[in-house]
Chains A and B, each alone.
Chain A
Amino acid sequence: MKTVFLDCSPKTKLSASGFVASMTGVFVSGNKKKMKLRTKADHEAVLKELEDADTVVFSMPLYVDGVPSHVLPFLQEMEKWCRDNDPGLRVYVIANNGFIEGRQNEPLMQVMENFCIRSGIEWCGGLGIGGGVMMNVMRIMIMVFLGLTVLKLAISGINTGVFPEMDYIYGFLEDLAVVLLLGCGIITFVIWLASCINRKKAYGKHYTRIMLPSFVFIIFADIFFTIISILKGGIFRGWFSRKKPG
């Protein structure tokens, strides 16, 4: 069995879509291939890879209630390719949005289902994730924390002769537990999705989120964008102003 994971984020690295695709891939058995779908230049290689695939998993961000515009020409090309080649593919979708409610991905899911119907390939369902961006930020931060913990362990070993300093390890494990707790919905639904891929079963449509009340998530999101806007300077360039065309 061969499964192709398509990371449809326009970002070249550290995309949330790529991360969730990789996380799903961990639980999928058989031959696996992960590819980027960013530009028209990627189309040919992706279609070539799909020739002997059984399953394709699209992982993408939600853009303005739908599929990002750069993915649409690929879907249209793939529809023609499917009608010419009758590949018998099974299609799963992972969609990821910046708002907390996973259900906001529903129009994207329907578009992807409609694409499958027109292409004559099997729509097997999808997972919509609310606040997936936060999961991506947390996984980057936890890697940074891991690095810092190792550094602190080394320094304390050199300075005090105590190695390993267990307080640093416990501190890191606490941070890891918080990440796992906030991400437990995403992790559970991803494992379920992978299980359906392995069993060649329909998954249906399911929605999950970062395990935070929405008002807390909104505060985090506002703080995140405020910090980024200070660093990038936008906050001092008419952050909320009703700018007119130049």
Chain B
Amino acid sequence: MADVSRIIIHDVDEAFHEQLKTLSGNVVWADGKYAPCQGCFECWTKNPATCSMKDSLHEMCRVAGQADDIVIITANCYGGYSAPVKNILDRSIGTSTPMSTYRAGEMHHTLRYGKKGMIKVIVYGDINDNEKATWELMIERNRINHGYQSKELVFVNSVSDLEVSKL
């Protein structure tokens, strides 16, 4: 049975995907061959933890929900995730429920799968100082929003700088 305690999401390419598949964890290639979120909330209100669109992200929130830790490898896009990776995150809000609570003193949704372990984000490409500051904020906001206990943010110039075996 595949190790589901960790999910790795990346937007690189097929060759990199094959390399990542040698690691433990569920590896998802953000290849962009899926539709963006339509904001219908039916993953909360109609078919919980299921997207109304029947493409490869139909049950992505269930896959993400199983994992305690998440590793995201993404190109930099103005201090945020690349469009294909962000698309996966937008389509995964079924990992929470429509009910609200307080976390870190502010309003958030309650977590369908409970608190999580670690969110690690590796950003590659050309990143300026403003964007680095935005990334720091973004990951902290994501950590609180998704209920992760800890976070790690890494900047690399190129994916080729990454030692896959150490991920």
Contact = CB atoms under 8 A, between A and B. Distances in A.
Interface residues of B, number: 55
A61 B81 CA distance: 16
A117 B137 CA distance: 18
Counting chain B CB atoms within 10 Å of each CB, the highest count among A73, A100, A234 belongs to A234
Contact of A111 (B66, B80, B99, B106): B80
Interface in B120-151: 128, 130-131, 133-134, 137-138, 141-142, 145
Interface size class for chain A?
A: 35 or more
Contacts of A229: 44-46, 98
Interface in A203-230: 214, 217-218, 221-222, 225, 228-229
A243 B82 contact: no
A110 B142 contact: no
Interface stretch (B15-23, B83-91, B157-165): B83-91
B65 A232 contact: no
B45 A228 contact: yes
B59 interface: yes
B108 interface: yes
Interface in A57-72: 61, 63-70, 72
A243 B97 CA distance: 12
A81 interface: no
A106 interface: yes
A76 B77 contact: yes
B94 to A, nearest CB: 8
Contacts of B90: 63-64, 68-69
Interface string B55-83: 00001001101100000000001111111
Nearest to A75: B78
B51 interface: no
B78 A64 contact: no
A55 interface: no
B91 to A, nearest CB: 8
A68 B36 CA distance: 8
A241 B131 CA distance: 37
A150 B115 CA distance: 51
Nearest to A74: B83
B37 A110 contact: no
A237 B106 contact: no
A114 B86 contact: no
Contact of B79 (A69, A110, A233): A110
In the A-B complex, the 3 residue pairs with the smallest Cβ-Cβ separation, listed nearest first, are: A225-B98, A70-B36, A69-B87
Given A67-B86, A69-B84, 4 more contacts: A65-B145, A112-B78, A221-B100, A232-B45
